[in-house]
Amino acid sequence: MHKLEFFIERWRDFKNAQEVYCNDDINELESHLRNEIETLDGCPLDDEEKVKIAVHRLGDGDALSKEFAKVNQGKIWKKRLFWMLSGHILVSAIGVLLSMLAALFSLFNVTDHLSLKFINQDLFVSGEMALVLIAVSIFMFLVYRQKVKMSGFSRFFLGLHPLFLGLMLVPLVLWQLFGQQLLYIVMTRSFSPEQFGVLAMQSALWRGLWTILVAIFFMLCAVSVIRQRRTGQLIKN
């Protein structure tokens, strides 16, 4: 019987690797597969052959994924959005770490009081952000590990309309990547170094706030992914 579980698990891994199936679909197809395998019980077949026949009866894999892709279109885009944001966070994390290193390095090279104050603040903000981003990265890694096994995704997240999510998240990311920098170039042309310093600090604080918001969002996703994995395991028993 252990062998049968191994072959079914292998089939699940194969389906999980295809983004068109969500966790619930695979659970349902697995339930069907097990019914089909049961009907082959009396036949002189080994476990691998039984699984192969049952999978064959499910139908051509490509045609099936095409049909599921049509039904799950919204969910697929949400998944893509999730991984796009993950990439964005990872890049931000690396950026923050670098700026922290730069601030640390410049501490040894300044002598005047004002610059020292700014660098201290900068170090504080980037240090805080780095901590949050490292925590998020660990969560993302956990989500990724779950995906390899089960391809689960947050029920909460899936409940939202993809268009709404896109409208909400894409402008935020674009703003953070390009908008702020463009605004800076225009605004700071006539600024004195002190004014520029204050503005830079404020923008760093806002960036910190945004990072924390994204962090909370990702943690919610990760927690429900783990919960889904547990419900997936129930089917076997």
Partner 1 sequence: MISKDLVAASARPLILSILAQGESYGYEIIQRIKQLSNGVMQWKDGMLYPVLHRLQEQGLIESEWRVAQSGRKRKYYRIKQKGRKELAAEKKQWMQVHSTLLKIWEMKPCTS
Residues that bind partner 1 (CB under 8 A): 24-25, 27-29, 31-32, 34-36, 57-60, 63-64, 67-68, 70-72, 231, 234-237
Q: Provide, rounded to whole angstroms, the least separation between the CB of residue 163 and partner 1.
A: 16
Nearer to partner 1, 4 or 201 (CB): 4
Which is nearer to partner 1, 68 or 218 (by Cβ)? Answer: 68
Q: Is 9:232 a contact under the CB 8 Å cutoff? A: no
For residue 234, the minimal CB distance to partner 1 (Å) is 6
> Based on the number of CB atoms within 10 Å of its own CB, is 175 exposed (0-12), middle (13-18) or buried (19 or more)?
middle
Q: What's the closest the beta carbon of residue 71 comes to partner 1, in angstroms?
A: 5
Judge contact between 161 and 74, C-beta under 8 A: yes
C-alpha pair distances (Å), 160 with each of 87, 156, 169, 212: 21, 7, 13, 21
**Cβ proximity to partner 1, 67 vs 194, nearer residue:** 67
Shortest Cβ distance from residue 235 to partner 1 (Å)? 5
CB of residue 166 vs partner 1: minimum separation in angstroms? 19
CA distance 205 to 200: 9
By beta-carbon proximity to partner 1, the closer residue of 66 and 80 is: 66
**Closer Cβ to partner 1, 88 or 149, answer by number:** 149
Report residue 11 as tokens.
């089939």
Contacts of 189 (CB under 8 A, 6+ apart): none
Contact 41, 81 (CB under 8 A): no
Q: How far apart are CA 146 and CA 225, in angstroms?
A: 7
Of 33 and 204, which CB lies nearer to partner 1 in the complex structure?
Answer: 33
Task: Show the tokens assigned to 17.
Answer: 């690797």
Closest distance to partner 1 from the beta carbon of 237 (Å)? 7
DSSP 176: I
